[in-house]
Amino acid sequence: ALPARAPDGTFPADASGSWPLEDAVRRSGWLAGTVDVIRRLTASKEPLAAPRPRRGPTRNRGGPARAPRTTSPAKSGGLRIALAPTPRLIEELTDMQNGYRRTGDAGTEQLGAGAPGAKNAAAVLDRLGSLLVLDDVQPLLVPYSFADLPSAERSGPGLSPSQTQLGVGEQVLDKALGYDFGQRWLLPPGGRIDTGTLQELQLGNAAGRLFFSGRSLQGSLELSGEGCTEPFASFTCPVRTSTKVGTASGFVADKGLQQRLADLGRQPGLDRLALQTLLAETATIWAELPGRSARVVQATIPPLWHPPPGSMNRLLEAFAAAPWLEMVTPAQGLRRGSPSHQSTVPSLGNASDQPGADFATTLEEAHTTLQSFSSLEPPEAIVERLGRNLLVAQSMLWWGDDMLQAKGLTYATEAAREAYGEMAKVRLGAPDRITLTSREGQIRLEAFNDAAYPVKVRITFAAPKLSIEESIVRTIPPGKQQPLEVEATAEASGTSSLEVYLQTPDGLALPGSQRRIAVTSTQFNRIALGLTFGALAFLVLFYVNRAIIRRRGGRPSAQTTAT
């Protein structure tokens, strides 16, 4: 689902005046209805004869032996399914259940945990959590915002963007649903994975089991001739691929079946003819090799298809009841057939609807701003919310539509704008002129913090005629001003310029933080002053001595007077 929570943390109404996520979690909504349908179809059926591993944090990876060959369609065994809840959606539901703010024509409204939307969100989370421990429901991990992993790894901001998406997603799901997702089974959006991205994930002990698109693998799958494949038949084998880091196993989505599901996703409900075409596709695949029961085909329901509960019920019931199909979870299917050894492509190019380079540049600039803001050491909750908004901007759910792409980009630009706004709450106060009455003195400044939390800042100095510290780091208490004193030594008499910059600890100049101070030193150079006084004393003595000599020369002698 597209994110329902805006960058500012509120839930805005859509063009119709309703709130999409509130509608989704009602009993008649697409999300609540889908969860209920899966619960009913998985919890009520009779258990299979063969034991199945428990799906949980400590589940056993052993399983049943390969099913025997048959020449007739397999008997329907009910619904077995894999669930890949988008972490961003789960995070928004968690916010709703604890009380939330929504905006509409009447302004902003604060709703508590007792509001209908909050209660419905809590109920959906509870029912979804109960599904994850069922034997026939297998949890899958997807990136936090359903981001395209190869493009995120290639041009996303930060170190290992793909690992960041998965790590944040796992953290959100574990906390909200009380289930240890781990990174055992990964569903890359669109099945897009290449060698570079796979190796990066394997370095983080992820992606041991995953799903591929046909374009992610090299060569022709139909001509591999291994395991359950035949040159004339659809590719229905598990696959295994190796890199320099490790080995990954999984499935390749069937192109024809995936196209039929995509056709369903373009319709608001479930068209009967489209459903028949979809089922006919699966029957055709079975009829290619009716004597082999170990063939496994995989397809994914489109992430933006939100049909009414009745439509989802008919779709899943049709799969579960089809006599030529036996539904299996990915782990069960992996044990059915011999894997076909394949190689991933070294690098996947951009998708046809992927945003251009300007989009990636904006994300990188926003990430740099958030990193600088984070160095101020603000509350973790603010940093986390802004950082996750940046991850939302990377979602491939925005792609292919100019309006959606622009909306997605606002999550990055608004995160950067809010970070700048928080950093602008820290200011520097300084006089225009300072006079040093001795060669050494103190430069007195003030730092103002209008934020509601303490911040750590760096004050940097630049003065060619002063000996002063290059920079100092101080923590400014919230809502206060703090005097700052730094020792300075004048290297020469006269007036010099002192440049003062208020920066984040990682070196970003804060808005409007530069100050220029005229510093005047009134102390003369000691040597020059000594020479001046020495010359003055010489002159005084010279003229005094001369005056004495003149006075003596002008007095009449006694002998001359007597004559």
CB 315 within 8 A of CB 233: no
Residue 414: per-residue pLDDT: 97
Taking residue 23's Cβ as centre, other Cβ atoms within 10 Å add up to 19
| Of 45 and 470, more confident | 470
pLDDT in tens, 146-168: 999 999 998 888 888 999 999 99
Query: 44-79 pLDDT, tens per residue?
Result: 554 433 334 333 333 333 333 333 333 334 344 589
Q: Which amino acid is at 91?
A: E
**What percent of the chain lies above the pLDDT cut of 70?**
84
Q: State which amino acid sits at residue 388.
A: R
Residue whose structure tokens are 């990954």: 248
SS3 state of residue 66 = coil
For 460-499, b/e burial (b = at least 16 CB within 10 A) is: bbebeebebeeeeeeebeeeeeeebeeebebeebeebebe
Decide if pLDDT at 41 tops 80.
yes
- When pLDDT is averaged across residues 425-439 and rounded to a whole number, the result is 86
Q: How confident is the model at residue 485 (pLDDT cuts 50, 70, 90)?
A: confident
- SS3 call for 285: helix
Helix axes 272-288, 255-265, angle to 10 degrees: 170
pLDDT value, residue 540: 62
Query: How would residue 243 be classed by pLDDT, with cut points 50, 70 and 90?
Result: very high
| pLDDT above 50 for 209 | yes
pLDDT in tens, 117-143: 999 999 999 999 999 999 899 999 999
Q: CB-based burial of residue 527 (10 Å sphere; 0-12 exposed, 13-18 middle, 19+ buried)?
A: exposed
Mean pLDDT of 475-500: 86
Give per-residue pLDDT as tens, 6-16. 999 999 999 99
Query: What 3-state class would DSSP assign to 242?
Result: strand
| Residue 55 pLDDT | 38
Residue 182 in this model has a pLDDT that exceeds 90? no
Q: What angle do CA 260, 263, 265 make, to 5 degrees?
A: 115
What domains are defined for the chain? 11-44+77-139 (no CATH), 184-351 (3.20.110.20), 357-372+381-423 (no CATH), 426-521 (2.60.40.1710)
Instruction: For residue 374, name the pLDDT band (cuts at 50, 70, 90).
Output: very high
Give the pLDDT of residue 410: 97
pLDDT over 70 (residue 458): yes
- Which CA distances in Å does 249 have to 185, 186, 238, 245, 337? 10, 11, 7, 14, 12
508-515 contact pairs (CB < 8 A, 24+): 508/369, 508/372, 508/423, 510/423, 510/424, 510/426, 510/427, 510/428, 510/457, 511/420, 511/423, 511/424, 512/424, 512/427, 513/426, 513/427, 513/428, 515/428, 515/430, 515/445
Query: Please, which residues have CB within 8 angstroms of residue 554's CB and are 6 or more apart in sequence?
Result: none
- The secondary element (H helix, E strand) that includes residue 515 is strand 515-521
484 SS3 class: strand
User: What pLDDT does residue 56 have?
Assistant: 39
Say which range, 16-25, 374-383, 464-473, has the weakest mean pLDDT: 464-473
Sign of CA dihedral 169, 174, 175, 178: positive
559 pLDDT higher than 80: no
> Is residue 382 scored above 90 in pLDDT?
yes
What are the contacts of 20-25 at 24+ separation with CB within 8 A?
A: 21/92, 21/93, 21/96, 21/117, 21/121, 22/96, 22/102, 22/116, 22/117, 22/120, 24/306, 25/93, 25/96, 25/117, 25/120, 25/121, 25/123, 25/124
Q: Report the half-sphere exposure of 313 (CA within 13 A, side-chain side).
A: 12
pLDDT at 545 over 80: no
Please answer whether residues 233 and 290 qualify as being in contact, where contact means their C-beta atoms are separated by less than 8 angstroms. no
Q: Which helix (H) or strand (E) holds 372?
A: helix 357-375
Q: Which among 515, 524, 69 has a CA at the least distance from the CA of 295?
A: 69
Closest to 133 measured CA to CA, from 54, 41, 220:
54
What angle in degrees, to the nearest 10, is found between the helix axes of 116-131 and 161-177? 100
Sheet holding 440-449, edge to edge: 426-429, 440-449, 480-490, 466-468
Tell which residue, 45, 36, 110, has the closest CA to residue 76.
45
Mean pLDDT over all residues of the chain? 85
> Is residue 488 within 8 Å of 466, Cβ to Cβ?
yes
Alpha carbon distance 127, 132 (integer Å):
9
CB atoms under 10 Å from CB of 420, counted, come to 15
Q: What is the pLDDT of residues 387-419, one digit of tens each?
A: 999 999 999 999 989 999 999 999 999 999 999
Interior CA angle at 56 toward 55 and 62, to 5°?
55
Give every CB contact of residue 94 below 8 A, 6+ residues apart in sequence. Answer: 121, 125, 172, 175, 176
